[in-house]
Amino acid sequence: MIAEQSGEIYQYLESRRWDCWVTLDKHEFRANLIVYDMKNFDVYLGLRWMQGYHGRINTIS
C-alpha cells in the first residue's frame, strides 16, 4: 500500500515485474517493480532501490 500526503491510498494489484530495465537520463538500471492502481506515476522507485545504486536526490538544482 502507498499513502499520499493528501490521504489517498493506493492498493497493490498482486502483480510484479522482475528484472525490468529502467532508463534514467540515458543510464540503464535493473529494478523489480510492483504494480499499484495509480494513475499519477509511471514508475515509483523507492529509497532501497536508490540506496542499492548509491543514488542521490539533488534538492538544490
b/e 9-25 (16+ beta carbons within 10 angstroms → b): ebeeeeeeeeeeeeeee
Task: State the pLDDT confidence band at 8, using cuts at 50, 70 and 90.
Answer: confident
Residue 60's pLDDT is what? 87
d(CA 57, CA 50): 9
pLDDT (tens digit, 9 = 90+) per residue, 9-56? 877 777 888 898 988 889 898 888 888 777 766 676 777 888 888 888
- Kindly report the pTM of this predicted structure: 0.52
Q: Helices (H), strands (E): how many in the chain?
A: 1, 4
Residue 53's pLDDT is what? 85
Task: State the pLDDT confidence band at 1, using cuts at 50, 70 and 90.
Answer: low
d(CA 55, CA 22): 14
